[in-house]
């Protein structure tokens, strides 16, 4: 993930990151996707999560 409003990282950055994990954490299970993909997986588990009803702005 990049900083706010930057969009996704370019493919060469993703490949560099994957190469890093292949070298330094060969047993790591790496998944790539949109933030929505990860949110969908979490929500599908029906976790009991607290609800935040206010905004926490950047300081």
Average pLDDT, the chain: 88
The end-to-end CA distance of the chain, in Å, is 21
What are the domain boundaries of the chain?
11-44
What is the widest separation between alpha-carbon atoms in the chain? 42
With a pLDDT cut of 70, the percent of the chain lying above it is 93
Sign of CA dihedral 44, 48, 49, 52: positive
Model pTM score:
0.58
Write the DSSP symbol of residue 27.
T
* pLDDT value of position 1: 58
């Amino acid at each position: 993930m990049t900083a706010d409003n930057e969009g996704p990282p370019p493919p060469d950055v993703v490949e560099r990151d994957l190469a890093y994990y292949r070298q330094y954490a060969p047993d790591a299970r790496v998944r790539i996707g949109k933030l929505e993909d990860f949110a969908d997986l979490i929500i599908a588990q029906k976790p009991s999560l607290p609800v935040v009803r206010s905004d926490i702005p950047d300081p």
